[in-house]
A and B are shown apart, each in its own frame.
Chain A
């Protein structure tokens, strides 16, 4: 008699796997990747390829070293590599990019136990560390369509221009991505296409991005800035759509997501208006990542028909 498989119910499972979720995120980042190549040239693609390869390799080595099961096939390292690349200027020296990958994968992700365990978004953490340690490389932005790569003429981003009262691109240029900035963050259009894809595929809920961007819009308007410029500049779109929706480092309940979006929006504006940095999205998300366990506690679900538990002394 053939031995039957005996296991607890349920006996059917959905088709969703960690791997196909990550694949969807990769697909959702493709418009931004394509836009980056159009706007900044092939070097944008090379940076992305190097980051993806480094992240996967570093993850592989970490798991080997820690004698843990290999996880590179879940594709999460590919996502991190791609996201980090999108957050770098086209002029970045490749070794700095690789260093960023090390921060993202080895320090932020694997040291804390791997996928799902990290408290900060690896790509955000890497971006913030790089900004702090290689500030000049990280802010060496160039004009769009000046395909000279590393040798291109440096130019300030619209946010810097706004802060200094300089000349800024038109709103349409801002929306399409015809402006200086990190390779993947400039084209709001490309990022929105990716965002819609993720929502349609139910990989993310639109709550956090909407609340986050909405808060920035209203608050900056209230503070007298042009809200349209505020939501289209810097890393807001990529941050709100791709980083503030990261599963591991943001709250898992709907109310938690609302709180996260509000907080991140508020912090972004505070930093942009009053801080030392013209850009605040990364810091805002990072700070909210740190608060996520508290938000999660605040926003836990109330069980249906559950009675209060009396605390035993």
Chain B
């Protein structure tokens, strides 16, 4: 028989656990070693983790938070069976991974990027800040909303000089988005729209990830202010790489797969979002 050799795009494989720490109750930061993911994961691309229990076959997708050498980190909330298992991972153990997967944020355009994250939607935005860091044709403003503990500010602060956050006792991301816009003097013209940027000024682009309600509010804010909003969506996934067609989303381009056509979509092309404003 022929020996089974890995393929040119690495398939599912074990990654070594470098560190696993609880940032706050039920929020875990996991550092894994996988040179391929570390080298190639773009902001809002995700990786599938698989539990070691052969009874649980479904993938657990997580947005890549930071990459460093041949390591990458994830930040996740403990929700159910899979994340309950991953929280207990110890350095030296391995966990099966697949990725990076999906289409992330497009950061090629020189722009002022406003990264609006809520709860466990912050990891892809930290990765976006990391990628924008050091680009002199861009600027990243980070606006995070938390339930209570501001667990991810320090990671974003490594890459952005402008990190603002808020928790539920003070308001929500729209509160800080309004404040930011006011400071920038772009609270909108008489018609509520963002004034066209001055000659040579960079356009504003909003990247968002977080709870659906929050992303819809951010999308509506963007529409009202004439700013394009790119959202990273969540979906229950059966494969994560485009085979099973369980992760569909209705868009103006037709029914697309969240896992390979997204998870990032321009919110203007998402159908049914308007109604929920």
Is A bound to B? Answer: no
Residues in chain B within 8 A of chain A (CB atoms): none
Residues in chain A within 8 A of chain B (CB atoms): none
